[in-house]
Amino acid sequence: MQRKVLEARIYRAGYKGSFIIQNISLSIGAGEILLVTGRSGSGKSTLLKSIAGLIEIDGGFFDGVIAIKGQKISPNPLVLSKSIFYVPQEPWYGIVGYTVQTDYCHTLSVYGKHCKLELLEAYGLLSIANRVVYGISAGESQRLLWAEALETDTLVILFDEPYTYIDLEGRAVFKKYLEKALSTGRAVVVVDHMPENWEDYEPYMLVLDRGKPSYYGRFRSGVKALDIRSLRRERATSLDVLLEAENVWFSYHGHDPVLRGVDLSLRRREIIGIVGRNGTGKTTLLKVLAGVYNARRGRVRRRGSTVYVPENPLLYFSHPLPREEIFAAEKPSEKALRIVRAFDLEHLLDKPLAKLSSGERRRVALASALVRGYSIYLLDEPTGGLDRYTVESLVEAIAFIAETGSGVIVAHHDPRLTGLFDAEYKLEGGSLQCIY
Amino acid sequence: MHILGSLVYHVFRSLFVTGEKGIRLAHPFAKAFFIFSTLSLFSTGYYSSLAFLLVATMLLGAVSNGYRWLYSSSILALIPSAWYAITAYLLVLAGLPYSYGLLDIALIGLRTYTLSLLILLYASMVSPARLYNILLRIGAKRLSVAPILTWRIVPQGLVYVLESLAIGRVKGESASKRLAPAMASLLELGEYVRIASYYKIYGTPSNKIPVSTSMKYSVVLVAVSIASILLAYCIAT
């Protein structure tokens, strides 16, 4: 019988006095995928950190056994990293080099391999090899980590929410890389709150619920697809223009313009979606519309208070606790409490923001923005790391704030959101094209 | 923009805005020669040498790093030069035993401004990838990640601070109230990178990072260095 590549038995792991996962056993063979799924905050990322040996580094504890090809391995991250490559949910935290090339070459160097830059071509990264990493998009950061994961030849790759920042074309490319990894006998563990993304591979599936396994076995569907249209309520958009961008141009230092003559107007009670490939400038556009960046040319007029919720929610927060962040603007009103309940945040209100999962932080940021009641909402990838239940709540909340007279622009890659918008645009080559 | 945000913005653009390109790609010997010769010329203290160094620094910086680098570096260089010039003027007013005229005070300002701009140009010439390779070559393998990590974390932290301040402004919060969360986001960045990239930071690298050398910028640096040496020689004789 073929020996499993990765076997893990976790009795208890997590953070003392806080969240723990327990009684999880899993094994995965060469060329196989294990899909770990469950609601936002169910312990998926904690599980990956435990397998990668990073949980103790993060101030947590680990009580269990990890074995690679039948051999027990010390839960030391440096020992485990010889066999396991961990790709975090927020890809920018997985990069230590200041340019794409330095990070790629350093990573290969740590694994004892020589750096062959031409291999970056296959990942669409060669043209940006000399670019500073704080100037590349989240999707490009993610592709850099895929390149490293695949070129280092580790036996196991752990992907935490690999599709969060990836456009549809990028997902197809990712599948190509994934198949390459599987065909070379590697085992892949994927965390995703959308199991349907992996149905084609018929993977093994581990479903977590509040830190415990609720299902482990062959892939089973049974997850009802999110039907945004059913959540949508009829709403007449007003003729009042809340935000107007005229011939907006923007470029980063030393680079070609990212935005080239963008025209856009957002009306009261309107919800607009913006899609586009990774690195095309969706985030930049939102920042310019919000006034975080100034347009190099052209004009942005805002008629009303504006809020921008970035894809990295940590930058949004003003307070260390969710309770302070959400209720800072006002005493807990019925509306505020309703939003807290809708986003399932009641049990998280007094947990430090730094200790929340990525999906939980995003929910807090969105709830805080909604409670404060702005006229213009600019949301960057708001559904990243959110399960279908929270996405439903988010969609209802967005519909609610539009009904109350605000306007919303959402930059996203999430196919689940199709049907939410009154108008949707594609950002391509620096200009916006109306899809509908 | 709030004064703190403005300062962070100019520090970011002066030191971290470019990747591995421009003057950073010049040969290390050309860089060393340039630093030695320009400092030698600066030490003569003559108006002509200051004028030459100022023009050469501005041109080199603008061509290599762009006019935005020049703009931000010029603003940063103004801070110490204004400080020294004003301090000297106040000392004269206070009757301390210096008999500086206005021209002397202007020279103090000009010298400080030139030196500050030169230092910013030197800083933009530092290649973390080359430092990585040097540390690897001398056997300090575990430390070799330090330069590339520093050039990755510090500017990213500055970007975080800037964005956090800007988002605070959009949210209608004062910059002073926003300072603590901006700093917290910077600390959290460091902590998250340490955890997610643990094996990259604490692992032991074994191979060098390929670095290309720009003949064009090497020649330009050597040419400016020779001109500086000649000018210093002329002044001395």
Question: Which residues form the domain of A329?
Answer: 228-434
Distance (Å) from the C-alpha of residue A98 to the closest C-alpha of chain B? 4
Say if residue B224's pLDDT is above 90.
yes
| Whole-number pLDDT of residue B137 | 93
Identify the domain boundary among A186, A218, A250: A218
Same domain, A234 and A214: no
Among A96, A306, A319, the residue with its CB nearest the CB of B170 is A306
Same domain, A198 and A236: no
DSSP single-letter state for residue B173: -
Same domain, B87 and B202: no
Same domain, B78 and B92: yes
Q: What is the spatial distance between Cα B155 and Cα B161, in angstroms, rounded to a whole number?
A: 10
Give me the residues paired with residue A377 across strands. Answer: A307, A408
Q: What residues in B contact A103, CB-CB < 8 Å?
A: 148, 152, 200
Q: Does B122 touch chain A (CB under 8 A)?
A: no
Mean pLDDT confidence for B99-106? 82
**pLDDT classification of A1: cutoffs 50, 70, 90:** very low
Helix, strand, coil percentages (3-state) for chain B, rounded to 5, are 80, 0, 20
Chain-wide mean pLDDT for chain A?
A: 86
In chain A, how many domains are there?
2
Distance (Å) from the C-alpha of residue A1 to the closest C-alpha of chain B? 33
Question: Which residues form the domain of B204?
Answer: 128-209
Say if residue A227's pLDDT is above 70.
no
**pLDDT classification of A9: cutoffs 50, 70, 90:** very high
For the domain that residue A295 is a member of, what is the CATH number?
A: 3.40.50.300
Of A214, A167, A190, A240, the residue nearest A89 (C-alpha): A190
The ipTM is 0.87
| Whole-number pLDDT of residue A187 | 93
Mean pLDDT confidence for A382-403? 79
Quick check: is A223 in a domain? no
Among B13, B21, B192, the residue with its CB nearest the CB of A253 is B13
Quick check: is B9 in a domain? no
Mean pLDDT confidence for A115-135? 87
Q: Does A306 touch chain B (CB under 8 A)?
A: yes
Same domain, B204 and B221: no
Same domain, A211 and A248: no
Same domain, A148 and A177: yes
Same domain, B121 and B93: yes
Quick check: is A192 in a domain? yes
**Cα dihedral B50→B51→B56→B58 (10° resolution):** 100
| Alpha helices in A97-235, H assignment, sequence order | 100-110, 138-151, 168-183, 228-231
Same domain, B215 and B166: no
Token digits of residue B178: 């926003």
Same domain, A186 and A286: no
In chain B, how many domains are there?
2
Same domain, A94 and A120: yes
Binary contact (B195, A57; C-beta < 8 A): yes
Distance (Å) from the C-alpha of residue A360 to the closest C-alpha of chain B? 16
Q: What residues in A contact B197, CB-CB < 8 Å?
A: 93-96
Distance (Å) from the C-alpha of residue A292 to the closest C-alpha of chain B? 5
Same domain, A232 and A351: yes
Binary contact (A108, B20; C-beta < 8 A): no
Quick check: is A96 in a domain? yes
Q: What is the spatial distance between Cα A169 and Cα A141, in angstroms, rounded to a whole number?
A: 16
Same domain, B181 and B154: yes
Same domain, B143 and B120: no
Say if residue A330's pLDDT is above 70.
no
Chain-wide mean pLDDT for chain B?
A: 89
Same domain, B169 and B215: no
Q: What is the spatial distance between Cα B151 and Cα B124, in angstroms, rounded to a whole number?
A: 11
Binary contact (A134, B177; C-beta < 8 A): no
Identify the domain boundary among A165, A189, A218: A218
Among A78, A97, A105, the residue with its CB nearest the CB of B152 is A97
Q: What is the spatial distance between Cα A23 and Cα B18, in angstroms, rounded to a whole number?
A: 49
| Whole-number pLDDT of residue B217 | 94
Say if residue A232's pLDDT is above 70.
no
| Whole-number pLDDT of residue A346 | 86
Quick check: is B1 in a domain? no
Q: Please tell me which residue of chain A has the smallest CA distance to B17.
A: A253
Quick check: is B149 in a domain? yes
| B contact residues 22-61, partner A, Cβ 8 Å cutoff | none
Rg over alpha carbons for chain B, rounded to the nearest Å, is: 21
Quick check: is A186 in a domain? yes
Quick check: is B73 in a domain? yes
Same domain, A90 and A144: yes
Say if residue B122's pLDDT is above 80.
yes
Same domain, A203 and A245: no
Same domain, B122 and B136: no
Q: How far apart are the first and last CA of chain B?
A: 50
**pLDDT classification of B73: cutoffs 50, 70, 90:** very high
Q: What residues in A contact B12, CB-CB < 8 Å?
A: none
| Whole-number pLDDT of residue B97 | 63
| A contact residues 47-76, partner B, Cβ 8 Å cutoff | 49, 54, 57-58
Token digits of residue B184: 């917290």
Quick check: is A1 in a domain? no
Same domain, B139 and B46: no
pLDDT in tens, A291-300: 888 888 999 9
Q: Contact at 8 Å (CB) between A51 and A8? A: yes
Same domain, B91 and B169: no
Residue B131 burial (C-beta neighbours within 10 Å; 0-12, 13-18, 19+): middle
Quick check: is B110 in a domain? yes
Same domain, A205 and A294: no
Quick check: is B225 in a domain? yes
Quick check: is B161 in a domain? yes
| Whole-number pLDDT of residue A172 | 84
Same domain, A197 and A254: no
User: A387 φ, ψ to 5°?
Assistant: -80, 175
Q: Please tell me which residue of chain B has the smallest CA distance to A304.
A: B170
> What's the sign of the alpha-carbon dihedral A89, A90, A95, A99?
positive
Identify the domain boundary among A170, A192, A218: A218
Mean pLDDT confidence for B66-95? 90
Same domain, B34 and B102: yes
| Whole-number pLDDT of residue A371 | 86
Same domain, A123 and A261: no
Token digits of residue B174: 């004062």
Binary contact (B166, A291; C-beta < 8 A): yes
Quick check: is B155 in a domain? yes
Token digits of residue A146: 């895929």
